[in-house]
Amino acid sequence: MTDETPFWKIKTLTEMSPSEWESLCDGCGLCCLNKLEEWDSGDVYFTSIRCKLMDGESCRCTSYPNRWDFVPDCVQLTPEKVPELEWLPPTCAYRLVKDGRDLYWWHPLISGDPDTVHIAGVSARGRTVSEENVDLDDFEDYVVDWPLTVEDDMEPNPPSK
């Protein structure tokens, strides 16, 4: 049995290989929810409206390699963009690693099971409607706060000192 330190505890986001980077995605689907931004304040609000390419059950993109063909403004997470994206949920592994924090118990890299993110109730599974079914003028009726909430008993380990 080896006592190897996990890569996300010893590497920065920019030091990760492409496969390590991709494995940080827990499959919650929260980044694929439509967001509204107030022009005056710059405040960003999540809606329960998912991208037309997001599968509402698996919370995964149905056309990930070709998503820009269908959604030209899809935001690609990169190590350089993560610090700039204030709207990333507090449970997002990219944000946690950037901040020197550990992953949650339900993250597939910890649990070994891609369904624990859904079992823990932190994903978008079953809580969304496709953007194809909502008129743009009605998006504000779908503002939600659950992507930004974290139960106290779900806190990841604090940064190592």
**Six token digits for residue 126:** 């079953």
Q: How much is the pLDDT for 65?
A: 87
Give 127-142 pLDDT, tens digit per residue: 999 999 999 999 999 9
Cβ–Cβ under 8 Å, residues 108 and 27: yes
- Separation between Cα atoms, residue 29 and residue 128, nearest integer Å: 10
Whether the full predicted model's pTM is greater than 0.85, yes or no, is: yes
Give 64-101 pLDDT, tens digit per residue: 889 988 988 898 899 999 999 989 999 999 999 999 99
Q: Report the pLDDT averaged over residues 24-29.
A: 95
Task: Give the distance, in angstroms, between the CA of residue 73 and the centroid of all CA atoms in the same chain.
Answer: 17
DSSP H/E element including 105: none
Tallying the residues shown for the chain, one arrives at 161
Identity at 28, one-letter amino acid code: C
